[in-house]
Structures are given as structure tokens and as C-alpha cells.
Amino acid sequence: MLYNQAMKGITPIHWIGSAKEELLDFPRDAIKSAGYQLHRLQTGNEPMDWKLLNNLGKGITGVFEIRIWEDKSTFRIAAVTKTTDVVTVLHCWHKKTQKIAKHNIDMIVTRYKEAKDN
């Protein structure tokens, strides 16, 4: 299946840890929005609403946060697209405060290192 997707110009998604299950825990409309934003990445476009995540630690670069606004709530996806052959999704979460919680940052860093090792 990945071969057929690559043939159509769609970059495959590599999910790290339980990132896919985290995304599937979002409400239905947030899942649909997330799917659209990830598809934009897969086809070489930027997500509609995103920002670069800085200060994650030494050697951790290229991680960005896709912002999804649904049902008066905020949902986030941390992803990396350093290479053109794969979109790596590190972590998905329901953001409840202005600042990213430490446990979410720790999860992003841990999964970034895991992705880099593989």
C-alpha cells in the first residue's frame, strides 16, 4: 500500500509509540481536521495552522506543532518532516493550557529520540 501512495505523490506517515491511538482519542471532528492537516503534509503542503517547537533540547530540531481547534477545545499534533520520504508523528494531545505541559514535552522528546534511533 505504501508503494501505491508513494506513486501518487503521497508521503507515508510513520507513527511513533501510541501517537496514532492518541489521535484516535480526539473527538470525531478533531480527527477529521487532523487527517486533513496530515494529508496536507503528505502532499508537500504546510498545515493550515502550525508553529515550530523550539527549546526541546540539544539536537532536537524540525519539530512542529499542528494546531487544531474543534468544539471550543484545542488539540495538537507534534510532527517532524525533515525528510521527504516520511511524515513522522511523535505525539497527539488535547491542550488545556496556554503553555505545553511538561509531560507532553517529555513525550515529544522521548519519541523524537526513538524515531531518530530507528
**Do the Cβ atoms of 104 and 55 come closer than 8 Å?**
no
Domain that holds residue 82: 2-117
Phi-psi region of 71 (alpha: psi -120 to 50; beta: other; left: phi over 0): left
Q: What is the pTM of this model?
A: 0.89
Query: What local confidence, expressed as pLDDT, does residue 105 receive?
Result: 96
* pLDDT tens, per residue, the chain with 118 residues: 444 455 567 899 999 999 999 999 999 999 999 999 999 999 989 999 999 999 999 989 999 999 999 878 999 999 998 766 899 999 999 998 888 999 999 999 999 999 988 7
**CATH code, domain with 76:** 3.30.2310.20
Pairing mode, strands 87-95 and 13-15: parallel
Distance from C-alpha of 79 to C-alpha of 10, rounded to nearest angstrom: 16
Query: What local confidence, expressed as pLDDT, does residue 39 receive?
Result: 94
Total domain count for the chain? 1
